[in-house]
Amino acid sequence: MGSWIAAVAYVLTLATAMAAAAQGASAAPEIAFDAVADFLKLPDDIYLGEVAGIAVNSRGHVFVLSRGNTTGPAYGAAAAQLLEFDARGRFLREIGHHLYAWSYAHAVRVDALDNIWVVDKGSDVVVRFDPGGRVTMVLGRKAEASDESAHPLAHPLPPLPPLDGLFRQVTDVTWDSAGRIYISDGYINSRIARYDADGNWLGSWGEPGNGPGQFHTPHSIVSDQQDRIYVADRGNRRIQVFDTSGKLLQSFHIDVPAPADARVLIGNRPSAEVPAGGSADATMQPGAPWALCMTPGPTQYLFVADAYPGRIYKLSLDGRVLGWLGGAGRTVGRFGWIHALGCPSENELYVAELLNWRVQKLHLHPTPAQ
């Protein structure tokens, strides 16, 4: 009886949260903003490729992880380069030039101690650099290149069972207040890996699927000041929130309708809406979370980006949509597949775009209190 009551309570809580999110979305206002697309001052001989990651440290320095500096064949080439800029956008240095981990850039984050963490989807490793740019921790392991048959870990459908300490197309990283590490692992394993602050494996939670606590491409991950872990469950078009042990606390989705004339930069226009948590892949549906960013506070907000219609959404931490901005396009102030967001404050955003090979700096115009 007790377990039945708990299950009913969970369903009621989840339904209430989803209703609140939907109600907030229906009244969400458009947020006015200014955009600068040439904020970064690149040296003459360095070019950005698809910008997969963006992060800002305590000094306002901007770290850009790009699929640039490509080496190798036309297909399957290594594509990852980490660049640092000061608060005015002036180039400072490249970090990790020719690093063994560089294969296919996916995310960069900066922790509370200004360590720089890079997540490489191609090599299946997560690397921590100290503020000076030296490697101080490596999680996961790159496939060996000792013979011609070497290849990434196999991932047939259904995928092979995951192995502790190894990733398969890893996507992102975050931490709690005790320094424990949470890694979204990722396209194949569809789980959250958990380490202590010293890099010791603690376990994982999640598996492929569309039920509560399951994932269809956990693509981005952030935490708040209460140590709640927010996971962008992109293929299920929802954000799931957990405590540090992996207990599901909340699940919500973004239901701001796409305009009838919304642009599609690549591919066909989505023909039918896929329900949040449905069985089909909802990656290109409105509100499918590609990127998450948590502001530092004291009042924290969650910023979320989708690929279609290419918007950024401002959310309260209970999932209510407070406003939205932007849309797909190639001109300044429009976006081409936002893959990462940096949000050092409520009204300052850095936007990393895949299709437009650029970073835009946004200044949001303050809106009345929600």
Domain ranges for the chain, please list them. Answer: 2-43+99-142+156-364
pLDDT for 270: 86
Q: Which tens digits make up the pLDDT trace of 144-155?
A: 988 887 777 778
As a whole-number percent, the residues of the chain with pLDDT over 70 amount to: 91
Q: Which tens digits make up the pLDDT trace of 115-160?
A: 999 999 999 999 999 999 999 999 999 999 888 877 777 788 888 9
How far apart CA 166 and CA 367 sit, in angstroms, is 44
How far apart CA 318 and CA 324 sit, in angstroms, is 16
Provide the mean pLDDT of the chain: 91
Tokens of 174: 């975050």
| Helices then strands, each counted (H, E), the chain | 1, 24
The count of C-alpha atoms lying within 13 angstroms of the C-alpha of 296, restricted to the half-sphere facing its C-beta, is 14
Q: How confident is the model at residue 12 (pLDDT cuts 50, 70, 90)?
A: very low
Tokens of 211: 């039920």
Q: How confident is the model at residue 22 (pLDDT cuts 50, 70, 90)?
A: very low
Sheet strands side by side (includes 238-242): 218-223, 229-233, 238-242, 248-252
* CATH class of domain segment(s) 2-43+99-142+156-364: mainly beta
In angstroms and rounded to an integer, the radius of gyration of the C-alpha atoms of the chain is 20
